């Protein structure tokens, strides 16, 4: 990443993934578009990705953040597995985000797994964009 003073000169790179068997990706694609419209580079891995494939793509792409879109209800298990796979590849510093059908009662667990941003269905796109900009340090 290039810097001039405190200002970042390369775009923030975000990987958006759909882990597990969930086949609904309209929301994920809309988040991708919002991030791209905000000037970020977005890599979308597509549907039904394994935690291993997501972590490998994050490593290969050199991303600043990994966002998971999960509507299936398996967010705790999938987030745990993705975090473990990222850690195994030395990507502990990557910003982790998750969005979808996530009950507020699970926010604490997801935070313990390293997910700094939890965005339930219906979160305004600007909230997600602002969060990524704020948390990805120059």
Residue 42, in any domain of the structure? yes
Q: Residue 64 falls within a domain, yes or no?
A: yes
Q: Does the structure show a pLDDT above 70 at 44?
A: yes
Kindly state whether residue 128 falls inside one of the protein's structural domains: yes
C-alpha span between 131 and 77 (Å, rounded): 24
| pLDDT number for residue 22 | 84
Q: What is the pLDDT of residues 91-122, one digit of tens each?
A: 999 999 999 999 999 999 999 999 999 999 99
Looking at the structure of the chain, the number of domains it has is 1
Token pair belonging to 36: 């791209």
Residue 3: inside a domain, yes or no? no
Residue 5 is predicted with a pLDDT of 53
Evaluate whether residue 46 is within a structural domain.
yes
Supply angle C-alpha 38, 27, 63, rounded to 5. 50
Classify residue 1: in a domain, yes or no: no
Write the pLDDT tens digit of every residue in 10-28. 999 999 999 998 889 999 9
- Predicted local confidence at residue 137, as pLDDT: 75
Is the pLDDT at 6 greater than 60? The verdict is: no
The half-sphere exposure of 84 on its side-chain side, counting CA atoms within 13 A, is 9
Q: Give the model confidence (pLDDT) of 48-92 as tens digits.
A: 999 999 999 999 999 999 999 999 989 999 999 999 999 999 999
Using pLDDT thresholds of 50, 70 and 90, give the confidence band for residue 138: low
Domain that holds residue 32: 8-133
Q: What separation in angstroms does the CA of 137 have from each of 6, 10, 15, 26, 60?
A: 9, 12, 17, 29, 20
Please report, for the domain that includes residue 107, its CATH number. 3.40.50.280
pTM metric for this prediction:
0.92
User: Does 95 reside within a domain?
Assistant: yes
């Amino acid at each position: 990443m290039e810097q001039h003073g405190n200002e970042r000169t390369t775009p923030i790179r975000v990987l958006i993934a759909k882990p597990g068997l969930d086949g609904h990706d309209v929301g994920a694609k809309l988040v991708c578009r919002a991030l791209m419209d905000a000037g970020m580079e977005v890599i979308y891995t597509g549907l039904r990705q394994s935690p291993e494939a997501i972590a490998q793509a994050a490593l290969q792409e050199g991303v600043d953040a990994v966002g998971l879109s999960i509507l299936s209800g398996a967010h705790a298990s999938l987030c745990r597995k993705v975090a473990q796979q990222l850690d195994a590849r030395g990507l502990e510093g990557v910003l982790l985000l998750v969005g979808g059908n996530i009950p507020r009662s699970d926010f604490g667990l997801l935070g313990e797994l390293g997910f700094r941003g939890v965005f339930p269905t219906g979160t305004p796109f600007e909230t997600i964009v602002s969060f990524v900009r704020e948390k990805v340090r120059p």
